[in-house]
Amino acid sequence: MLTFLGTGGAFNTERGNTSAYFELGTELFIIDAGEDVFAKLVKKNLFQGKTRVNIFVTHLHSDHAGSLGTLIAYLFIKVFNLDRSKVCVYFPSEAITEFLALQGIKQDMYTFFINRWDELYVDGYEKQPEYVFEPTRHTDELNRNNETNCYGIEFSLKSDFGFFYSGDTCEFNQKLMNTYAFDYIYHEVTSTEGATVHFQYNELLALTKDMPADQKKKITLMHLDSDFDIEKAKADGFSIAGEES
Ligand SMILES: [Zn+2]
Ligand SMILES: [Zn+2]
């Protein structure tokens, strides 16, 4: 369902920044825009023929938002002829507008959707997708006004498909234990035992030990460190982002 532009953790330059996209109707949807993402989007020529580009951001760490400013400027100036209604940014906190403003990306260059949930009207697509940002624990340094500023995203197209994208987090959302509610679950993971900002692989194994194989396979691992044992994770029954069959 999602096509990944990169599947690595912050320091994994081989796999690149974890980021993914999908297309609906004539619109492009991108989740996260880390440092190396802008170049990949341009190289793949993904903006060709699109009537709108929607960028969903999970949090403001550089491996998730490092090329966001350049991406917005490029879309506004080069792709959509200064029409900010075609460049849409989704994040549940004003923090992102401050982050962008310091880079010279003012709100007259994009349309900002701060809603925690909303319906989308997509060009060339007859249904209304829905999304919800789920606050999640990652690192306290990103919190703002005592509020967590990291999110997972649940996206649903009712009868067509639905997925959950964890963002970076040290917890497994309880909703995900009911795997039947999702077609795809994309989750970050780390093999570092005792890690406090990312979700430990051993915890995931324990949580899913009684899960039927077909459900477990829906859990697609992403944000992988260079020392993550991919072959073991596959043997354990999980899918790997970018390698889904
Ligand atoms: Zn990250
Ligand atoms: Zn992070």
Quote the CA–CA distance of 128 and 118 in Å, as a whole number. 10
> How many Å lie between the centroid of ligand 2 and the Cα of residue 166?
11
pLDDT at 147: 81
CA–centroid distance, residue 127 to ligand 1 (Å): 32
Q: Residue 117: pLDDT above 80?
A: no
Taking the C-alpha atoms of 82, 153, 64 and 234 in order, what is their torsion angle to the nearest 10 degrees?
A: -130
Over residues 106-130, the mean pLDDT reads 87
Q: How much is the pLDDT for 188?
A: 98
CA distance 37 to 47: 13
224 CA to centre of ligand 1 in angstroms = 9
Rg (CA), the chain: 17
Centroid of ligand 1 to alpha carbon of 200 (angstroms): 14
Instruction: Find the mean pLDDT for residues 216-236.
Output: 97
Q: For residue 164, how far is its CA from the centre of ligand 1 (angstroms)?
A: 16
Average pLDDT value for residue range 31-60: 98
- Ligand in closest contact with the CA of 9: 1
* Residues 106 and 73: beta-carbon distance below 8 Å: no
CA of 69 to the centre of ligand 1 (A): 17
- Residue 114 sits at the vertex; the CA angle it makes with 113 and 120, to the nearest 5 degrees, is 45
Residue 187 confidence (pLDDT):
98
DSSP letter at 78 equals I
> How far apart, in whole angstroms, are the C-alpha atoms of residue 120 and residue 201?
34
Name the percent of the chain in helix, strand, coil, to the closest 5: 25, 25, 50
Q: Does position 116 have pLDDT exceeding 70, yes or no?
A: no
> pLDDT-based confidence at 103, cuts 50/70/90?
very high
What is the pTM assigned to this prediction? 0.96
Do 220 and 241 form a contact (C-beta atoms < 8 A)? yes
The residue to which tokens 């938002």 are assigned: 65
Give 124 Cα–ligand 2 centroid separation in angstroms.
34
What are the tens digits of pLDDT across the range 202-218?
Answer: 999 999 999 999 999 99
pLDDT band at 12 (very low <50, low <70, confident <90, very high): very high
**Number of the ligand closest to the Cα of 15:** 1
- Split at pLDDT 50, 70, 90, the class of 6 is very high
pLDDT over 80 at 233, yes or no: yes
Which residues are in the CB-under-5-Å shell of ion ligand 1? 10, 63, 168
Q: What are the chain's domains?
A: 3-240 (3.60.15.10)
The pLDDT assigned to 31 comes to 98
Ligand 1 geometric centre to CA of 235 (Å): 25
- Which one of the ligands is nearest to 61 CA? 2
Beta strands in 18-70 (DSSP E): 19-24, 27-31, 52-56
CA of 150 to the centre of ligand 2 (A): 8
Give residue 162 CA to ligand 1 midpoint distance, Å: 23
Q: Above 90 in pLDDT, residue 20?
A: yes
Phi-psi region of 11 (alpha: psi -120 to 50; beta: other; left: phi over 0): alpha
Determine what percent of the chain is predicted with pLDDT higher than 70: 98
C-alpha of residue 73 to centroid of ligand 1, in Å: 23
Supply the pLDDT for residue 115: 73
pLDDT surpassing 90 at residue 244: no
Q: End-to-end CA distance of the chain: give it in Å, rounded.
A: 10
CA of 136 to the centre of ligand 2 (A): 11
Q: Which residues contact 69 (CB under 8 A, 6 or more apart)?
A: 100, 103, 104, 105
* 157 vs 100, residue with greater confidence: 100
Instruction: Give how far Cα 169 sits from Cα of 88, 115, 135, 148, 173, Å.
Output: 25, 21, 10, 11, 9
Mean pLDDT of the chain: 94
Q: Is the pLDDT of residue 138 over 70?
A: yes
155-205 pLDDT tens trace = 987 667 799 999 999 999 999 999 999 999 999 999 998 889 999 999 999
Distance 180 CA to ligand 1 centre (A): 27
pLDDT band at 145 (very low <50, low <70, confident <90, very high): confident
* Ligand 1 geometric centre to CA of 226 (Å): 13
